[in-house]
Structure formats: structure tokens, C-alpha cells
Amino acid sequence: MAAGSILETMNKATAAEIAADEFARVVAQHRPQIFRFLLASTRDVDLAETLTQECFLKAHRNWSSFRGDSSAMTWLMRIAINLQKDHWRNRRMRFWRSTQTHAVDLDEASEWLPSGATSAEQQMLAKEQVRHVWKAMEGLSERQRSVFLLRYIEERELSEIAEITGLSQGTVKAHLSRAVGRVRTELGRRQ
Amino acid sequence: MSLWEKGKEFSDNSEHRLDSESQDLILDQNLDEALRNFKLSVDAWSETAYSTRRVAPSIPHRNWRPAAAWALGCALVASSVSGSVYQRHERQLEAKQAAAKLAAQQKQAADLKAADEEDLLASVDSEVSRQVPSAMEPLAQMAEDESK
């Protein structure tokens, strides 16, 4: 009986260690992606970092309840989207919303380009395009923006986006279509 | 129109709508390029921000400054308060010493004065006591004669 309980305790400890290792691996693997998605959503490095930390904290608390029905990435992305939604909802309650934002402006956000671009003219063109996409994103609803980023930044399949956002594939398609339409319109203004 | 025909019409329209939405998703070259650049830009920004924060987080630096300013401010306030308290204590000590010195001087002067007065009285007494017995001498003589 006593030997049995010791064995049970040891099994539990081993299971906890395995779960901790597994979670650490998930963090290492997906943290940069969650941060990138939140950064693109908010254009605020501090906020993206805070929300990423909150996301993994929440994931850690609920790790035991994660059954693996969906991928860990899908599960984490769903948490991140909900946190972001909560954050904006809470912010709407404050008057100093606009004064407290640390989001960078469009020009600053468009400055980031990989060094691969060849000529100065091409770089200018690329920056201009990026600026127009950011501008178009400003006019999107929260949901449209999330869907757009999941598709074109995170390169997720429509079925996966539907799973993350809890929407049907048809609705995801419609949101994506509107978002892309807006980007196209914005790019059309440039020409 | 039968129910089946209505259903088919709805289904055809839905397919048509989905087709047009799908067509919207077929990106032209310009849009494709813009979206590719957008992804590259976000990737570059995110990687830089992420690695900068992981390797050399800037928040502790920002937090360190107000803490140091507070510590310095507290030290300045504490030193100025303790300085003024020390000065006040020194002044009180000096005042006490001066008062004690004055009191000692006053006491010494009073003692001297008292001693002078005693000397004077003693000299007066001695002079007066020498005169009085000579005045009584005849009476003392008479007393001696009667006894003989």
C-alpha cells in the first residue's frame, strides 16, 4: 500500500516534470510568432510584449486542461486574440486612451524592411507599399484585422483561421475578402 | 416555383457569391508584392524587437533611473535634515556651556563679594570689642579692691 502510494507520487512528479518540459518547448517554439502577431495587431512593442507574457501565463495556468484537440499554436493564438480583445475593451473605458498609446505611427512602422531589397528606388517603393497596407489595416474592424494578419503574416490556412477565431470558413473568407479589398483600394489610391 | 427549384436557385446564388469572393482573393501582382513586402517588414521589425528585448531588455534601464533618482533625492533630504538637526544641537550645546560659564562667573563674583563683606564685619567687630572693655575697667578695679 505504502509502496503503491510512493510509486503514485513518483509518477505524478514525473508527469509534472514532463508537462513542464513540454510547456517550455511550446514557449520556445511559439513565443516569437505570438509576439509577431500581437505586434502587427497593435504596432506597440511594449504592449505586444506584455500581451505575449500574459498569453503564456494564461496558457501555463491552463496547460493541464489543454487536450491537444487543436495544435498548441492554434490554442495559443486563440488566447492571444482574446487577450487583445479584452485589452481594447478595457481601454475603451479610459479617457486617456489616445494619450497612453505607445503605438508607432505608420511611417515608423513602414521603415522596417529586410536588407535584401536591391536599389534605393525599390526600397522606397517597398516602403510605400508597406505604408499603404498599414493604412488600410487602420480602417479594418478588429476581426477583419485578425483574419488578415493570420492569413498574410502568419500564413495560416482558412480552416485554421476559422478554428482560431471561432468563425465559420465562409465568414473568414468574407472578412478576408473585405480586408484585401481595402488594401487593394488603398494601393489603388497610390497609383 | 417548387421548393426544390427555390433551393437550387439559393444554392446557385451562394456558389456564385462565394466564387466572386474567391475571385477577390486572387491577388494581382501589385497587391501580391505589397503583401509580401508587408510580411517581410513585420518579420524584420518583430525579429529585431524580440531579440533586442530578449538579449538586452530596455525596461530595467528605464526602471533603474527613477529608482536611482529617488534614492539620491532621499539621501539629499536625509543629509539636509540631519545637518540642520546637528547644527541645532551644536548651537544648543554652545548656549548651555555659555550659560554655565556665566553662572560660574556670577557665583565667583558673589562669593568674592560675600568674603569681602565678612572681612569688613570682622575688622569692625574686632575694633569695637577692643574699645568696650577699656570703658568697663574702673568697675573691674573696684570689684578687685572690695575683695581685698
pLDDT tens per residue across span B84-116: 889 888 899 999 999 999 999 999 998 888 888
Q: Is the pLDDT of residue A23 over 90?
A: no
Higher pLDDT, B6 or A45: A45
ipTM of the prediction? 0.82
Q: Which percentage of chain A shows pLDDT scores above 90?
A: 43
For chain B, the residue count is 148
Question: In this predicted structure, what is the pLDDT of residue A90?
Answer: 74
Q: Which residues of B touch A126 (CB under 8 A)?
A: 37, 40-41
Report the alpha-carbon distance of residue A36 to residue A112 in Å, rounded: 13
For range A106-118, the mean pLDDT: 66
B residues 11-40 closer than 8 Å to A (CB): 18, 21-22, 24-25, 27-28, 30-31, 33-35, 37-40
Least confident of A13-17, A129-133, A142-146: A13-17
| Residue positions counted in chain A | 191
Residue of A nearest to B49 (CA): A45
B25 Cα to chain A: minimum distance (Å): 6
C-alpha cell at A53: 507574457
- Please give the residue that has the higher pLDDT: either B78 or B67: B78
Q: Which of these, B11, B134, B2, B33, lies nearest to A183 by C-alpha position?
A: B33
A133 touches A152 (CB < 8 A): no
Query: How far is CA B107 from its chain centroid?
Result: 45
If you average pLDDT over every residue of chain A, what do you get? 83
Q: In which residue are the cell numbers 533603474 written?
A: B64
CB contacts, 8 Å: A180 with chain B: 24-25, 27, 31
A170 has pLDDT over 90: yes
Q: Average the pLDDT over each of A107-121, A151-165, B40-54, B79-93 and give the range with the smallest value.
A: A107-121
User: Between the CA of residue B22 and those of A152, B15, B18, B25, B102, what are the distances in Å?
Assistant: 16, 10, 6, 5, 108
CB A124 within 8 A of CB B60: no
For the segment A96-103, the average pLDDT, to the nearest whole number, is 54
- Which one is predicted more confidently, B10 or A132? A132
Output the pLDDT for position A20.
76
pLDDT of residue A142 exceeding 80, the answer is yes
3-state SS string for B36-105: HHHHHHHHHHHHHHHHHHHHCCCHHHHHHHHHHHHHHHHHHHHHHHHHHHHHHHHHHHHHHHHHHHHHHH
- What percent of chain A shows pLDDT beyond 70? 76
